[in-house]
Amino acid sequence: MLQSQATQTTRQDLTEVILASKLKKDLTYTQITEGTGLSEAFVTAALLGQHPLPADAAKAVGKKLDLDDDAIALLQTVPVRGSIGNSLPTDPTIYRFYEIVQVYGTTLKALVHEKFGDGIISAINFKLNIEKVEDPEGGSRAVITLDGKYLPTKPF
């Protein structure tokens, strides 16, 4: 039976164990994801305490990270989601995403409503992809694709 967490603490503690094992074993998220049948973004989010993993994926990840049976079971529980808290993010990378939403949030909202109507883009029925591409002007660019199902607002 699928279980749910009541606070973020337990999954945050597990995330620390996972990150320590990832570092010790010198593994990438891509390597950890292999054999799970899931996307790298989903598995990474799960390892960071934002999603439950299906049993087979949790066992595959647990084996690679030398997690015990309790940790593997915990990876399968529904977490209390949210990783930023109620204050401004201080990590520069996370802050840039916050900045993007601050600058383009109203634009995204206006264009979504103009194209789809009143509703939201799901973060549950959602896909995320990150690619590194070379910039013709030099350096690299990050191409981030957010692919969420549109859910219309329904009058009641």
Distances (CA, A) of 31 to 70, 83, 109: 22, 23, 36
Could you please report the per-residue DSSP string of the chain?
A: ---B-SSSHHHHHHHHHHHHHHHHHT--HHHHHTTSSS-HHHHHHHHTTSSPPPHHHHHHHHHHHT--HHHHHHTTSBP---SS-SS---SHHHHHHHHHHHHHHHHHHHHHHHHH-SEEEEEEEEEEEEEEEE-TTSSEEEEEEEEEEEEE----
Point out the residues that are catalytic.
96, 99, 122
**Low-confidence residues of the chain: pLDDT under 50:** none
Q: What is the distance between the alpha carbons of residues 133 and 152, in angstroms, rounded to a whole number?
A: 34
Would you state the pLDDT for residue 4? 87
Per DSSP, what are the bridge partners of residue 26? none
Q: What is the pLDDT of residue 82?
A: 84
Half-sphere exposure of 142 (CA within 13 A, CB side): 8
- Predicted structure pTM score: 0.81
The set of residues, in sequence order, having a beta carbon less than 8 Å from that of 23 and lying 6+ positions away, is: none
Identify the residue whose tokens are 């699928």: 2
